Chains A and B, each alone.
Chain A
Amino acid sequence: MDSFQAVLIAQTIVNGILLGTMYGMAAIGLSLIFGTMRIVFIAQGSVLVFFAYLCFWLFKLAGIDPYLSIIIIIPGAMVLGAVLYYGLFKEAAALQDRISSLLIAVGLMFILENFMTVVWTPNPRSVVTSYGFASFTVLGIHLTLNRLLGLGIAILATIGVFLFLKKTVIGTAVRATSEDVEASTLMGINPNRVNAVAFAIGMALAAISGINVASTYSFDPVYGFDVAIKALFALTLGGIGTIYGALAGGIIIGLVEMLGAYFVGGGWTQAILFAFFLVALTFRPQGFFGRTGQKA
């Protein structure tokens, strides 16, 4: 192998990791929501794209820098998460009714996708800032500023969520609820509040990913489902219930996608990804980082 090819492969790996952190972020949100409520929130990806569009609008109409718009979008996202929980999922979560909560999420996804198609048209959009595509080369590997910023924000957000779960009272309550709903309720934890918090953080993470997507890639209304599926896979690969597992699962998915595209060709990426997921799941159903013996 000559050095040119080695650099290309290294480049692909770096791109895969950067893409994978985006899936990982969405997967952490899914993991929190799944952990406390046992809800597969398949609309996560569509919400993410929705925030990407909001970021696009703030940039286009008000001229607000995408990274600055984090300050506006994240509180909104947290409120939206709490509203979604109290408005839609409260009853289903109380009944532990998986099918109806899955279907409510599907309904939400349908609404969001079509709403976005009507408002913003199905054409792909992207946010192009003056500095985002400023690039530099390290060891022959090409890096752009927006991707690095995205990676940095993702790492910061993950550390933030981790500290929140470990150090705060409500974070401890969230962890307790994901371990055992009944026991935590008996200890006086209000499940609704915990679930609403999990939803709010999940939406905030979706918002951060959405802003990263908006400033790095181009996106359209149906892109969200793709992201949601990959985030689900990341979550399952990493093992449900661990923050770093979800992030690592996302990075694995990103790597498989990019390397698959490089070695086999773009059209086959999906098949490789899903086949990889199937095989991984068949041989290690609890995920790579999951606690053994844990039931989904």
Chain B
Amino acid sequence: MAKSPSFIGSLKPAGPESLTNLVIIVLALVFFGTFLFYTDIDSIIVFYLFYCFIFIIIGQGWNIVAGYTGQISLGSHAFFGIGAYTTAIIWLRDITHTWYFFDPLVMFLSGLAAAVFAVIIGIPILSRLRGDYFSFATLAAAQVFTVLVLRGGKLTEGAMGLRIPGTLFEDLGIYYWTGLLLAILATAAVFFVTRSRLGLALRAISEDEMSAASHGISVLRYKLIAFAIGAFIIGVGGNLYAYYIFSISPPAVLNLNWLFYPILVCILGGNGTIGGPVIGGFVVGAIVVFSETLIGRVHPMVSGVLIILVMKFLPTGLIGLKAKVFQRH
């Protein structure tokens, strides 16, 4: 795994660099917080930013597992799909008796369902497997889930999928605000996790599992917690996406793009950093949205070329650029 410079940098005490970071964060928050007041709400930019927020959310969910425990999960699309399907099922079966559309309770339950699934598959997988075997096992578990959805009978309606009432759509405003809020919350969650005992334990595990275990860290427990938190965040991302597409079907929410997008977001931005997935989210959002509208259906080819170029010339991600620039001067 590539060690990015800011991964180590985050252990340093606050200095002038962290002040610049703070200024950047405040400026970004002010910019995005007031953005809708001087932009046409139906413009493609708002649509683009909504996508970016989704990418940031799922990117941070993946980041918590891969960036901080060094385990590459290949099951993100299952968590994403669980979030979306939970939303649809709760809504269509009228389970919580709330208003469902952008309902915080449904959002929470969608995340929770993904986290529960993560714990169920995580206990056997994480206790026995690590490294590449862990990656393949998460992929296998996710594919099992996909087949279960396809064969889910009345509950999931198979390949047809579920439709939630689309008449509530008015404008992109609420999507923008919720997306922004959730992206901030996801980033903040990663920030606080890394600053907590949990983050310290995770870092110790990713450095040397054996040594961490001999120092009294319950490796399985901490890995499982990180895996569940990551799944929760990705599940909430799935919930947000469900409100946007309205028609929840396996090709829409369980396709492998949702496995690759979070990885792309993290790696392009800088894996194992807090700011990396944010930068990555905007870049991947730009690739997906603009190449889809400009070029049409060839866009995975573009993203393929882009991944290769970034990995070849910038393996620490875009956030590594900053460190490179600082080193030169």
Contact = CB atoms under 8 A, between A and B. Distances in A.
Interface in B284-329: 298, 300-301, 303-308, 311-312, 315
B144 interface: yes
A160 to B, nearest CB: 27
Contact of A281 (B136, B146, B263, B308): B136
B131 interface: yes
A113 B132 CA distance: 24
Interface string A257-292: 000000000011011001101100110010000000
Contacts of B306: 107
Contacts of B308: 88, 104, 107-108, 111
B129 interface: yes
B1 A97 contact: yes
Given A99-B72, A110-B304, A113-B300, A271 B133 contact: no
Contacts of A121: none
B251 to A, nearest CB: 12
Interface of B: 1-2, 66, 72, 124-125, 128-129, 131-133, 135-137, 139-141, 143-144, 146-148, 150-151, 256, 260, 263-264, 267, 271, 298, 300-301, 303-308, 311-312, 315
Given A92-B311, A99-B66, 14 more contacts: A91-B312, A95-B315, A111-B305, A114-B300, A115-B301, A236-B136, A267-B151, A268-B147, A270-B146, A274-B144, A275-B140, A278-B124, A278-B137, A285-B128
Interface of A: 40, 88, 91-92, 95, 97-104, 106-111, 113-115, 118, 225, 229, 232-233, 236, 267-268, 270-271, 274-275, 277-278, 281-282, 285, 296
30 contacts: A40-B132, A88-B308, A91-B315, A98-B132, A99-B72, A100-B315, A102-B72, A103-B307, A104-B307, A110-B300, A110-B304, A110-B307, A111-B304, A111-B308, A114-B301, A229-B143, A233-B136, A268-B151, A270-B143, A270-B147, A271-B143, A271-B144, A271-B148, A274-B143, A275-B144, A277-B137, A277-B140, A278-B140, A281-B136, A281-B137
